[in-house]
């Protein structure tokens, strides 16, 4: 039996793993999902949210598992699990980047997207910004197009009212990673072939610059926890 710690991406919370946790349990594994600061049911003020805060929260969860865990990060959760691995590599058996941002030292979400249009499938018109400028969130039609293009209508209806604003501070922060700590943790990448949010070109470019072993492909949209939860659980279990 392995323990999986599941880290959500932008706008989401622990709730997005609702079908994956029991699917992993049915395969004999334990899975833990939780909310990052300011996301899901966590009420940390947006002004207090940061990449460092995400990393500390993740490190607390993995240290509390009592054994080395498989740490899975989805989308923006990729940079958060990388930062956590720098803090607590001794508690990690493997990192799994699920159609996630895969950073090198000094990268941020903003720098990984880069200026090329192919890396930015969305534009400013797809999002709304808070009055204080500290957070943003996608318009419903945009999030369906970008994240849920292969997701059943029932899951879309479940997800949309649960989405929360994402702190800009997390997106802009540069992560500090070392070969001695982050670099010692084995990492795998699960690419999603029909992803409209993190393009396949971007996924593969990040892996080319920061190799992972293995690299596994899923024929899904950006949200396989909704569009193919059993397949995702099977894929994760095979990485143990």
List, as one string, the DSSP characters of 192-218.
ETT-SSS-HHHHHHHHHHS--SSEEEE
pLDDT at 153 over 70: yes
Summarised one tens digit per residue, pLDDT across range 79-127 is: 999 999 999 999 999 999 999 999 999 999 989 987 654 445 566 678 8
Mean pLDDT of 150-173: 97
Mean pLDDT of 172-194: 98
Domains for the chain: give ranges and CATH numbers.
3-237 (3.40.50.1820)
Which residue in the list 50, 195, 221, 223 is annotated as catalytic? 195
**Mean pLDDT over each residue of the chain, to the nearest integer:** 95
- 12 part of the active site: no
Bin 158: left if φ > 0, else alpha if -120 < ψ < 50, else beta.
alpha
What is the pLDDT, as a whole number, of residue 139? 94
Q: Are 46 and 21 in contact (CB under 8 A)?
A: no
- 222 part of the active site: yes
Q: Are 178 and 87 in contact (CB under 8 A)?
A: no
Which residue in the list 12, 222, 223, 227 is annotated as catalytic? 222
Mean pLDDT of 130-147: 95
What is the pLDDT, as a whole number, of residue 113? 84
What is the pLDDT, as a whole number, of residue 117? 43
What is the pLDDT, as a whole number, of residue 56? 99
Cα dist from 33 to 97, 139, 196, 231, whole Å: 15, 25, 24, 18
Which residue in the list 75, 135, 210, 227 is annotated as catalytic? 75
Mean pLDDT of 148-163: 98
pLDDT at 134 over 90: yes
CA dist., res. 87 & res. 58, Å (int) = 9
pLDDT confidence bin for 43, thresholds 50/70/90: very high
């Amino acid at each position: 039996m392995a323990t999986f710690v599941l880290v959500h991406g932008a706008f989401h919370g622990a709730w997005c793993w609702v079908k994956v946790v029991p699917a992993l349990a049915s395969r004999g594994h334990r899975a833990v999902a939780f909310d990052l600061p300011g996301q899901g049911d966590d009420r940390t003020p947006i002004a207090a949210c940061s990449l460092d805060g995400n990393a500390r929260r993740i490190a607390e969860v993995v240290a509390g598992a009592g054994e080395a865990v498989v740490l899975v990060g989805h989308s923006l959760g990729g940079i958060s699990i990388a930062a956590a691995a720098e803090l607590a590599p001794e508690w990690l058996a493997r990192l799994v980047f699920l159609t996630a941002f895969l950073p090198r030292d000094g990268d941020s979400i903003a720098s990984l997207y880069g200026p090329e249009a192919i890396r930015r499938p969305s534009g400013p018109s797809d999002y709304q910004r808070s009055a204080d400028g500290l957070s943003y969130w996608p318009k419903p039609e945009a999030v369906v197009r970008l994240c849920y293009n292969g997701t059943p209508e029932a899951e879309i209806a479940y997800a949309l009212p649960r989405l929360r604003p994402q702190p800009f501070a997390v997106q802009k922060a540069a992560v500090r990673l070392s070969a001695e700590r982050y670099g010692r943790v084995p990492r795998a990448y699960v690419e999603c072939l029909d992803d409209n949010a993190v393009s396949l070109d971007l996924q593969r470019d990040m892996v080319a610059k920061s190799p992972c072993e293995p690299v596994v492909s899923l024929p899904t949209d950006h949200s396989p926890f909704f569009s193919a939860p059993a397949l995702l659980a099977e894929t994760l279990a095979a990485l143990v």
